[in-house]
Amino acid sequence: DIQLAPRNIADVCAREHVEAGDEARNACAEVCEPSDCCQEKENETEDFCLYKNATAVYEVANIVIGCVSYLPCQILPLTDPVNKIVLAPTKLTTACTRENVEETEGGKVECEELCAPSSCCLNPVENPIKTCFLEFPVECASFAPCEILDLIDPSAQVPLAPTNINEVCNHASISSDKIPCEEACDPATCCNPVGDGSNEICLEQNFLACASYAECANLLVVD
Q: Quick: pLDDT tens for 2-60.
A: 789 999 999 999 999 999 999 999 999 999 999 988 876 655 555 557 655 555 555 67
Q: How far is CA 54 from CA 68, 107, 148, 151, in A?
A: 16, 54, 48, 51
Residue pLDDT, tens place only, 143-167: 999 999 988 888 888 999 999 999 9
In 3-state terms, what secondary structure has residue 65?
helix
Distance between CA atoms of residues 61 and 53, nearest Å: 11
pLDDT digits (tens, 9 = 90+) for 109-119: 999 999 999 99
Q: CA 41, CA 142: separation in Å to the nearest integer?
A: 25
State residue 83 phi and psi, 5-degree precision: -75, 160
Q: Which one-letter amino acid corresponds to residue 99?
A: E
At 1 the pLDDT is: 64
Rounded to whole angstroms, how far apart are CA atoms 223 and 218? Answer: 9
**Cβ–Cβ under 8 Å, residues 198 and 214:** no
Average pLDDT, rounded, for the chain: 88
Question: What pLDDT is stored for residue 77 in this prediction?
Answer: 93
Q: How many CB atoms within 10 Å of residue 9? A: 19
Chain centroid to Cα 76, Å, comes to: 18
**DSSP annotation of 160:** P
Distance CA 175, CA 207 (A): 28
Contact 17, 24 (CB under 8 A): yes
